[in-house]
Amino acid sequence: MRIATWNVNSVRQRLEHLLRYLREAEPDLLCLQELKCTEDAFPRAEVEAVGYNTYMLGQKTFNGVAVLSRTPAEVTYGLPGDDDDVQARYVEAVVPHGAGVVRVASIYLPNGNPVGTDKYAYKLAWIDRLLRHTRGLLALEEPLVLAGDYNVIPDPRDAKDPDAWRNDALFLPQTRDAFRRLLNLGLTDALRATTDAAGVYTFWDYQAGAWQRNNGIRIDHLLLSPQAADRLQSVVVDQHVRGWEKPSDHVPVRIDLD
């Protein structure tokens, strides 16, 4: 089973890129973030025409997450724990696989900037909710993949210029500690299970020639339960997608499970 994640940065603007990627990579499941549209504006017919069921939680102009699946799925929308939270940042799908199921979540964790504002407090509270929910999911002892744009740079090796991010919400010690607490529940960072190498990035800013200078950061992650980690075969960061015309500032990351 191939599972990919991609912050597409406006699905309507990148529709041709999305369709191209689906045909090229052929994922069984694709988790999308930052759709920037409501359900009625999502290009459902075009996605279905290339063989995918669409499960999305949309929001006008901002946020928005989806799971695209080759097979029908049972889906839950929204991260539990705060009934007043209206931001579209979490969708969870359960799909049949072999004699059991695979559970996948598409996550768009808050950015949190500027630090010292309600936005950063919301980021930390959101991670706490994700921690509580993940504990319950791990108790199910299923193959679980929490995939998405975490807006967390886990380690200095995950940034070309770590010093430039020292005071950013993506790299503050408190942010990185929260991410480690999530991993310490028993999750595996898929990419770090396959390589310790520095210089593997998933995001390059549009400004100052960041892509051309490879001035990137790694903030898109797939976190695996023990049952999924045991089946991990490979991890690929599809960096070439950043070189397409008018690309997203993120690239897809995909894993293969046996």
| CB-CB neighbours of 234 under 10 Å | 12
CATH code for the domain of 66: 3.60.10.10
| 99-146 residue pLDDT tens | 899 999 999 999 999 999 999 999 999 999 999 999 999 999 999 999
Q: Distance of alpha carbon 21 from its chain centroid, rounded?
A: 16
- Stated pTM of the model: 0.97
Rounded to 10 degrees, the C-alpha dihedral 229/231/234/236 comes to -60
Average pLDDT over residues 47-74: 97
How far apart, in Å, are the Cα atoms of 151 and each of 88, 96, 124, 125?
Answer: 15, 30, 11, 14
Q: Residue 205: which domain range?
A: 2-257
> Residue 30: which H helix or E strand, with range?
strand 29-33
Residue 72: asked if its preceding bond is cis (omega within 30°), the reply is: no
| 163-208 residue pLDDT tens | 999 999 999 999 999 999 999 999 999 999 999 999 999 999 999 8
How far apart, in Å, are the Cα atoms of 186 and each of 131, 141, 149?
Answer: 11, 11, 20
Task: For residue 83, report the phi and psi dihedrals to the nearest 5 degrees.
Answer: -65, -15
Q: How many domains does the chain have?
A: 1
